[in-house]
Amino acid sequence: MKSQKIIKFFLSFFGVGFIKYAPGTFGSIATIPFMYLISLKEIPFLYFVLFLVALTALSCVLAEYIQKKEHIHDPGWIVIDEVIGMLVTWLLFYPTFNFQIALSVLIVFRFFDIIKFWPASYFDKQVTNGFGTIIDDVLSAFYAIAVLYILQKFITIS
C-alpha cells in the first residue's frame, strides 16, 4: 500500500496532479522551477536525453502498474507526462532558461497537449496502457517544438 502512495506521488509530480482544476496545466507550470534548477547545472545534452528516456520508461511502467491496480485509464492526476512533455519541448527547442522561453514552452506545449493532433490522439484514446498515457504528451512536444522554431524565425522568443 505504501508503494502505491509513492508511485502516485511520483506520477502526480509531488502531488501537483491532485489539484482539483486543470491538473495538467498545473503539472506543466510546476515543471518550470525544475527547468530552472536543471539549467543551473551544466548537464551535457546526451545525459539529459538519457535522463528523459529513463524518466519516460519508468513513468510508462509505473502508470501501467497503477492503472491496472486501480482499474483506471489515464486519470487526470497523472501529470508526469506533462512534465516530460515540457522537458522534451524545452530541451529540444532552447535548453537555456529564461522566463520568456519557459512561458513560450508552457503555452505552446499546453496547446498541443490539449488539442492532441494525430498521432498523439491515437495514443491518448486507443492505447490504453501506461505507454499510451505517457507517450501522447511526448508526441505533442514535437508539435510544440516545430511551432516554437517557426515562431522563433518571425519573432524573438529567446
Residue by residue, DSSP assigns 37-92 as HHHHS---HHHHHHHHHHHHHHHHHHHHHHHHHHT-SS-TT--HHHHHHHHHHHHH
Q: Whose grid coordinates read 499546453? A: 110
pLDDT > 90: percent of the chain: 58
With CA atoms as reference, report the closest residue to 4 among 86, 72, 89. Answer: 72
Mean pLDDT, residues 109-120 taken together: 90
120 or 39, greater pLDDT? 39
How does residue 1 score in pLDDT terms, banded at 50, 70 and 90? low
Cell of 65: 502498474
Given a contact cutoff of 8 angstroms between Cβ atoms, the answer to whether 112 and 100 are in contact is no
State the pLDDT at residue 11. Answer: 95
DSSP states along 106-157: HHHHHHHHHH--TTHHHHHHH--SHHHHHHHHHHHHHHHHHHHHHHHHHS--
Cis peptide before 119 (omega within 30 of 0): yes
Given a contact cutoff of 8 angstroms between Cβ atoms, the answer to whether 126 and 100 are in contact is no
State the pLDDT at residue 132. Answer: 84
Given a contact cutoff of 8 angstroms between Cβ atoms, the answer to whether 114 and 141 are in contact is no
In this prediction the pTM is: 0.91
42 or 108, greater pLDDT? 108
State the pLDDT at residue 13. Answer: 93
pLDDT tens column, 47-99: 989 999 999 999 999 999 999 998 888 888 999 999 999 999 998 888 788 89
How does residue 157 score in pLDDT terms, banded at 50, 70 and 90? low
